[in-house]
Amino acid sequence: MNQFCETYIKISRENLKHNAKYFKDLSNKKLIAVIKSNAYGHGLLEVASVLKTEADLFAVASLDSAIALRNGDIDLPILVLNPLNIEFVGIAVNNDIMITISSLNDAQLIEERYKHFEKKVLVHIKIDSGMNRMGLKSIEEYQAILKFIKKSEVLKAVGVYTHFHSPHNIIYSKSQQEKFLEIYQSIPYEFKYVHLCSTSATLNNLDIKQSTHVRIGLGLYGLCESNYVKPVLSMYSKVVIEKEVKKGETVGYNANFKAYQDAIIGVMPLGYSDGIIRKNTGRKVYIDGNYCDIIGNICMNSMMINLPQKGLTADVEIIGPHIKAIYIAKHLQTITYEVTTVLPPHIKRIVE
Ligand SMILES: Cc1ncc(COP(=O)(O)O)c(C=O)c1O
């Protein structure tokens, strides 16, 4: 992490907790907090430390993130969502980390490889209800895997889940609900965790009475379209050099900006290696009551803005209350997920 740098990210503890409570109240279910990919760029341990009192389980994509949580003294249950190489299953078990499985073959390989293990391998079975990414697709596969696990000395099924691919589309989502229920109900089994709904799925009322948890990512960070959630992340840097340029002079690589009048250019010590990719050129930042354009090509470690005057010493808001993630996402022609998830771990996160 860069300690001696002007660029930093602020995480609002209060807003993070508010959002978590909102989704618990709205769904009336327990909360699986999705904190994969460095908590969508917000900071894995920073977010986990705040949410450990609100969430019942943390979901991450990789075993590395799960181990980082354990090393950071997080003792809540953890689920790895991505498939895990059989070789690493023992490490997961030794750290009390649950894994996802999607095939009888994987269950059989785990049984064979870990039959001498003292602790059981706790698994969530993933059902593919239509996304065609991970999970088993048929009643036959589900019954085979569940029957196998019921007899197993090594594995224990604790969870079952699926994921909606288009939670804004009622036709697709109803069909996914039906497919999940058809498979899940084809054989009775008492799971501790039954979970389907992401942020949009929860907001769009796609949950079923059989579920126990909702599995929320984006909404925790206040990045979804809802009037009831609050943004959690803001990012700031400083103008470290002020430069006067004359009308007609150019700024930065490839002379991509030409001053149409005399101007004051502010140089800030962050660039595309800090997650502010080059497509951000042309959008605004905010300083001391002024919205300023990002100009010229963004460099690897620096970027330039067009200042209204000299001597503005306030921190420059790169993302925050005046420069919202949704505005940035529109400018970048992407989704809000990507705006924060690309912010790398070396940027200092301050929780307050
Ligand atoms: C399997 C799974 N569950 C839940 C989520 C959380 O989704 P959201 O961030 O839309 O709440 C994701 C996000 O990508 C996911 O892949």
Please identify, by atom number, the ligand 1 atom nearest to the C-alpha of residue 337.
9
Structure-block tokens of residue 258: 């030409």
List per-block mean pLDDT (blocks of 10 residues) for the chain, which spans 352 residues: 91 98 98 98 98 98 98 98 98 98 97 96 98 97 97 97 97 98 97 98 97 98 96 98 98 97 98 98 98 98 98 97 98 98 97 97
Q: Which of 195, 221, 247 is the endpoint of a domain?
A: 221
- Angle (CA) 78-82-85 rounded to 5° is 100
CA distances from 303 to 48, 110, 285, 347 (A): 32, 50, 11, 16
Which residue segment(s) compose the domain that 263 sits in? 233-351
Residues 128 and 249 in one domain: no
Q: At what angle do helices 170-184 and 139-151 cross, to 10 degrees?
A: 40
Does residue 248 fall inside a structural domain?
Answer: yes
Q: Which of 166, 189, 221 is the endpoint of a domain?
A: 221
Q: Which of 158, 190, 221 is the endpoint of a domain?
A: 221
Residues 216 and 253 in one domain: no
Told to judge if 324 belongs to the known catalytic residues of this protein, a careful annotator would answer no
Compute the distance from residue 328 Cα to the ligand 1 centre, in Å: 21
Query: Candidates 31, 32, 34, 216: which one to mutate for ligand 1, based on the most atoms within 8 Å of Cβ?
Result: 34
Please identify, by atom number, the ligand 1 atom nearest to the C-alpha of residue 199.
11
> What pLDDT was estimated at residue 1?
83
Compute the distance from residue 216 Cα to the ligand 1 centre, in Å: 6
Active-site residue, from 21, 115, 253, 310: 253
Query: Candidates 100, 198, 340: which one to mutate for ligand 1, based on the most atoms within 8 Å of Cβ?
Result: 198
> What pLDDT was estimated at residue 289?
97
What distance in Å separates the CA atoms of residue 312 and residue 102, rounded to the nearest whole number? Answer: 56
> What pLDDT was estimated at residue 9?
98
Compute the distance from residue 298 Cα to the ligand 1 centre, in Å: 31
Residues 75 and 205 in one domain: yes
Please identify, by atom number, the ligand 1 atom nearest to the C-alpha of residue 218.
9
Residues 209 and 70 in one domain: yes
Does residue 69 fall inside a structural domain?
Answer: yes
Active-site residue, from 36, 126, 238, 284: 36
Query: Candidates 31, 215, 232: which one to mutate for ligand 1, based on the most atoms within 8 Å of Cβ?
Result: 215
Structure-block tokens of residue 30: 């327990």
Residue nearest to atom 14 of ligand 1 (CA): 217
> What pLDDT was estimated at residue 331?
98
Give the CATH number of the domain where residue 119 resides.
3.20.20.10
Give the CATH number of the domain where residue 297 resides.
2.40.37.10
- What do you get for the CA distance between the two ends of the chain, in Å? 18
Q: Nearest Cα to 176, choosing from 165, 184, 185?
A: 165
Told to judge if 36 belongs to the known catalytic residues of this protein, a careful annotator would answer yes
Structure-block tokens of residue 122: 């706790």
Does residue 3 fall inside a structural domain?
Answer: no
What distance in Å separates the CA atoms of residue 73 and residue 71, rounded to the nearest whole number? Answer: 5
Residues 276 and 318 in one domain: yes
Does residue 226 fall inside a structural domain?
Answer: no
> What pLDDT was estimated at residue 5?
87
Residues 159 and 106 in one domain: yes
> What pLDDT was estimated at residue 104?
97
Domain count, the chain: 2
Compute the distance from residue 198 Cα to the ligand 1 centre, in Å: 5
Please identify, by atom number, the ligand 1 atom nearest to the C-alpha of residue 61.
16
Query: Which residues form ligand 1's pocket by a CB distance below 6 Å?
Result: 34, 81, 163, 198-200, 215-219
Residue nearest to atom 1 of ligand 1 (CA): 163
